[in-house]
Amino acid sequence: MPSLILRRFSFAAFTIGFVSIVMFAAVEALPGNVCTSFLQRFAQGPRLERCIEQQGLERPALVRYGDWAAGAVQGDFGYSLKKRKPISELIRERFRNTALLGGLAALLAIPFAIFLGIAAGVRRDRPLDLSLSGAAMLAMTVPEFVTATALIYVFAITLQWFPAVTIVSPGAGFLQMLPNIVLPVIVLSAVLIAHIMRMMRASVIDVMASDYVQMARLKGVPERRIIWKHVVPNAMIPALNVIALTIAWLLAGVVVVEKVFNYPGLGTLMIQAIYDRDLPLVQAIALIFSVIYVGVNLLADLAALALDPRLRRKGH
């Protein structure tokens, strides 16, 4: 068992290392270098030299990768070209903001979606299931920027309950930030809930038809206990992968939603950095996203290990 967990961890670490190499190599493969692509037509003379010196571009690529990777492990991603500040400083608050937004969305959506999925699966084809499945279909088909705009129109412009766009500074306190994240969290959760609920529903229906649930009924186990003891743990196992995949979608959704609400998170920073051709910053944010992605999948793997005794055998 501990060796299995260790193996999962080392595999995750290996994946992140590999992603970092690919990302670094991609930037290297671009014509010119970080400084020429940033400075464009001003890439000459002392400006270019200063930039090259600051970024340490005169050193061989392998050494720079080693430096960059070693720094990243300690939270140091180098200097932003545009903002002329250490990237770690730029990112710190924005990371907190995005984590707040995405984390809250995931934290609310996942348990809620699982619960709804169970309810819909248990009451298959009855009014509750039909209305939930219909709503999920709708939430999945409407793109999030449309949902966001509609919510802004209703709750921000007409009812004026929440601000339409965020106008506080990235470093604002939690309470100040709170009214600004209500609408973005709703937009993000809607799609999350829809996907996870549908998977959970299908999975619950499968398990409800299994021999062991029939056996539990014939053993005289009350329905409520059947659902929580025999159905839910088994239905969760296939749903876990979908949850992990949906969280990956959440990372992309965060970028769009942050942009629509002008929310000061990593997403808006990333879009800005791309506009500015600030490659070190883009690299840093992309690496953070990939760490989150791998981390979430690792969590899903570990949760599956905890739920499914069949996976805990040796040789898996």
CB nearer to another protein: pick between 59 and 225: 225
- Does position 126 bind another protein by CB under 8 A? no
Of 2, 5, 1, which Cα lies nearest the Cα of 301? 5
Minimum CB distance to another protein, residue 247 (Å): 23
The torsion region of residue 277 among left (phi > 0), alpha (psi -120 to 50) and beta comes to: left
Task: Note whether 166 and 180 are within 8 A (CB).
Answer: yes
CB nearer to another protein: pick between 35 and 216: 216
CB nearer to another protein: pick between 132 and 226: 226
CB nearer to another protein: pick between 41 and 224: 224
Minimum CB distance to another protein, residue 131 (Å): 22
Where does residue 236 rank: exposed (0-12), middle (13-18), buried (19+ CB within 10 A)? buried
Distance between CA atoms of 261 and 181, rounded to whole angstroms? Answer: 9
CB nearer to another protein: pick between 87 and 304: 304
Residue 134 CA: distances (Å) to CA of 112, 194, 200, 216, 257: 17, 10, 15, 31, 24
Minimum CB distance to another protein, residue 202 (Å): 17
Of 165-224, binders to another protein (CB under 8 A) are 210-222
CB nearer to another protein: pick between 47 and 312: 312
SS3 74: coil
Distance between CA atoms of 173 and 97, rounded to whole angstroms? Answer: 10
Minimum CB distance to another protein, residue 124 (Å): 10
Minimum CB distance to another protein, residue 13 (Å): 17
Minimum CB distance to another protein, residue 236 (Å): 9
CB nearer to another protein: pick between 81 and 207: 207
Minimum CB distance to another protein, residue 209 (Å): 8
**CA-CA-CA-CA torsion sign (110, 113, 115, 121):** negative
Minimum CB distance to another protein, residue 98 (Å): 35
**CA-CA-CA-CA torsion sign (274, 279, 285, 287):** positive
CB nearer to another protein: pick between 1 and 175: 1
Residue 197 CA: distances (Å) to CA of 33, 95, 201, 225, 265: 46, 28, 6, 21, 27
Count other Cβ atoms within 10 Å, centred on residue 173: 8
Of 38-57, binders to another protein (CB under 8 A) are none
Binding mask 217-256 for another protein (x = CB under 8 A): xxxxxx------xx--xx--x-------------------
Give the count of residues interacting with another protein (CB under 8 A): 23
Minimum CB distance to another protein, residue 237 (Å): 8
CB nearer to another protein: pick between 84 and 314: 314
Of 262-281, binders to another protein (CB under 8 A) are none
Q: Could you give the count of Cα atoms lying within 13 Å of 21 in the half-sphere of its Cβ?
A: 6
Task: Note whether 139 and 194 are within 8 A (CB).
Answer: yes
Binding mask 281-310 for another protein (x = CB under 8 A): --------------------------xxxx
Q: Return the bridge partners of 86, or none.
A: 79
CA 126 to chain centre: 33
Binding site for another protein (CB under 8 A): 210-222, 229-230, 233-234, 237, 307-310, 313
